[in-house]
Amino acid sequence: MVHQHAPQEGLGLLEALEDCGQRMTGQRALLARHLDGKAEAFSAEEIARELPGVGRATIYRTLKLLVEAGALCKMQLPDGSPRYKRDAAAHHHHHLVCTVCRRVEEFRHPSVERMLRTMRDEVGGTVVGHRLEIFIVCNDCRQPS
C-alpha cells in the first residue's frame, strides 16, 4: 500500500511564519488559521474569496512566504491551474491528483525513492530536485457503473 499522509495538523502555519522571523500581524494570523483548517488543495483566488477582509496582495505575499518556508507546496493541476496544499509531511513527498474531483493527496512510496536514487547515479549532471505527479481517477470518482 502507498503511504498516504493523513491530513494531520503538523506544526500550524503561524508557527512556520514565526520561524522565519516574520512579524505576526492580524491578517497573517487569520490566513494561517484559515489555511490550517483546509485539508484539500486550494487556489489563491479561493482564499481571497473566503477572506474578504484580507487583501489579495497580502494573500499572495503570505502564500509565497509559506511556500518558501516549506509549509505549503505549490503545484499545478493537469490543466496547469495552480493550487496550494498544506505540506502535511515534514519532508519530501509526491502528489496524487484526481483528474475528476481535482483532489490532491500526498504520498510516499519506496519505488519512487528507489527510482530517484538510480537516476541520481545515471544522469549526466548533479540532481538538485524533481517533480512527480501521478494523475488518477480516484475510487470515489470511478462511477459505480
Partner DNA sequence: GTTGCTGCAAATCCTTTGCAAGGTT
Partner DNA sequence: AACCTTGCAAAGGATTTGCAGCAAC
Does 144 sit near a second copy (CB under 8 A)? Answer: no
- Give the Cα separation of 62 and 85 in Å (integer): 14
Does 64 sit near a second copy (CB under 8 A)? Answer: no
Instruction: Estimate to the nearest angstrom the gap between the alpha carbon of 108 and the chain centroid.
Output: 14
Pick between residue 8 and residue 111 the one whose CB is nearest to a second copy: 111
Q: Say which amino acid occupies 109.
A: H
Query: Dihedral angle at the C-alpha atoms of 59, 60, 61, 65, nearest 10 degrees?
Result: 100
Site string for DNA, 52-91 (x = CB under 7 A): -xxxxxx-xxx-x---------x------xx---------
Cell digits for 22?
516574520
70 binds, among a second copy, DNA, none (CB under 5 to 8 A by kind): none
Options 54, 73, 96, 104; binder of a second copy; rule CB under 8 A: 96
Under a CB-based contact definition with an 8 Å cutoff, are residues 34 and 20 in contact? Answer: no
Which span (14-22, 40-48, 50-58, 103-111) binds a second copy, by CB under 8 A? 103-111
Query: Dihedral angle at the C-alpha atoms of 34, 27, 13, 94, nearest 10 degrees?
Result: 70
Does 135 sit near a second copy (CB under 8 A)? Answer: yes
> Which residue ranges make up the site for DNA (CB under 7 A)?
22-28, 43-45, 53-58, 60-62, 64, 74, 81-82
